Amino acid sequence: MPGPLDGVLVVDLTRALAGPHAAMMLGDLGARVIKVENPAGGDDTRGWGPPFVRPEHGDRESTYFLSANRNKESIALDLKDDADRDVLTSLLRRADVLMENFRPGTLDRLGFGTGVLAELNPRLVTLSISGFGHDGPEGGRAGYDQIAQGEAGLMSLTGSGPDDPQRVGVPIADLLAGLHGASGVLAALIERQRTGRGQVVRTSLLASVVGVHAFQGTAWTVAGQVGRAQGNHHPSIAPYGLFRCQDGSVQLSCGSEPLWRRLCAEFGLDPQAPGLATNGERVANRERVIELIETAFAAHPAETLLARLAAAGIPAGKVRTIDEVYAWDQTLSQGLLVDVEHDTLGPLRLPGPPLRFFTAGPDGERETTRRDHTAPPVLDADGPSIRAEVGEG
């Protein structure tokens, strides 16, 4: 199946991760994505490593680049060269979406400010991603994921305790900005069906992290409480977290009183013990709760505990390593690995899109998820054909 965005043309001027991730999401959904890269080396992430594939060869590829650029074409354009700017102009006249994550003001200096774009193509939807916003007292700051995680409060909530701030193990500010950006583009494309005109969608690493503060945000704005890092246990629910056992650890989540009572019945604990009868009491006495549960778990290996918890209907799980996740039959069943053919590397297996699509009828569901994915392109792989297509070859 071609995907729900079949026929949508995206011009992707982004680099690094936030923008490329947003563009890849649209490509996964069937859009045609043309990635415009600097002729001098291409996207910065082509050089980010190790690890590299074929590191001993001149055509080595960065696994970082491979993570964010499937389902795209590549053309190398020098945006300070008049002939190459003409190619980009021709592409923008035809495009449905333009994506860019330059520092604020850069696109204007290149001669493609919002007024120029609106004149070139009134139906164009432009996604613009910045580090800290396009205006405001610090709107011009460069955006890097770890700096944004710290500035937006996420690192203060992550770690073993208040004195141990930690970044999330993936560039979550970048990825969230990409997710929010793609969502904004889809909304703008729907609105264009009513108005006939495109618009500019703006988000930032700062906005995207603040936008997922969830209960930590309202704990401050409503209740005046500042959340702090406290390791692998939930600040508002107990027991909910990672618990040591005989040969490692297991995770469990008792998000309701019935689940707490089931846990106690399974392991011989008193659910009505003083200080433990309600969730609020257990949160206030979290260390005591952890000690009780870990004492009960101490004689049991993790696999045995997980089986008992599952049989008792208590949500639980293990902490898998990345290789274990990709070998897990549940991961495979959800289409989260895709096989592609790379121009220089040959067959590759990549992490796949997180969305699946189905049509329902009287005979049941039929999956319509796109299956024919393409590998991330080598630099300028599609340059000659794209130039010919727009008449600028």
User: Catalytic residue positions?
Assistant: 174
* Nearest-angstrom CA–CA distance, 116 and 88: 13
Residues 6+ apart with CB under 8 A from 368: 1, 357, 358, 359
* Nearest-angstrom CA–CA distance, 132 and 240: 33
Going along the chain, which residue ranges are E strands?
9-12, 32-37, 52-53, 61-62, 73-76, 97-100, 125-130, 200-204, 240-245, 248-253, 316-317, 337-342, 346-351, 358-361, 364-367
Reference 26, options 81, 70, 67; nearest CA is 70
Structure letter (DSSP) for residue 233? B
Token pair of 64 as six digits: 């970082």
Q: Other CB atoms closer than 10 Å to residue 151's CB: what's the count?
A: 19
Longest C-alpha distance within the chain, in Å?
79
Reference 12, options 29, 28, 32; nearest CA is 32
Angstrom distances, CA of residue 259 to CA of 144, 252, 275, 319: 41, 10, 17, 21
Cis bond before residue 50 (omega within 30° of 0): yes
* Nearest-angstrom CA–CA distance, 128 and 108: 12
Residues 6+ apart with CB under 8 A from 183: none
Q: What are phi and psi of 116, to 5 degrees?
A: -65, -45
Q: What are phi and psi of 209, to 5 degrees?
A: -75, -45
* Nearest-angstrom CA–CA distance, 105 and 141: 11
Reference 5, options 28, 34, 35; nearest CA is 28
> Which amino acid is located at 225 in the chain?
Q
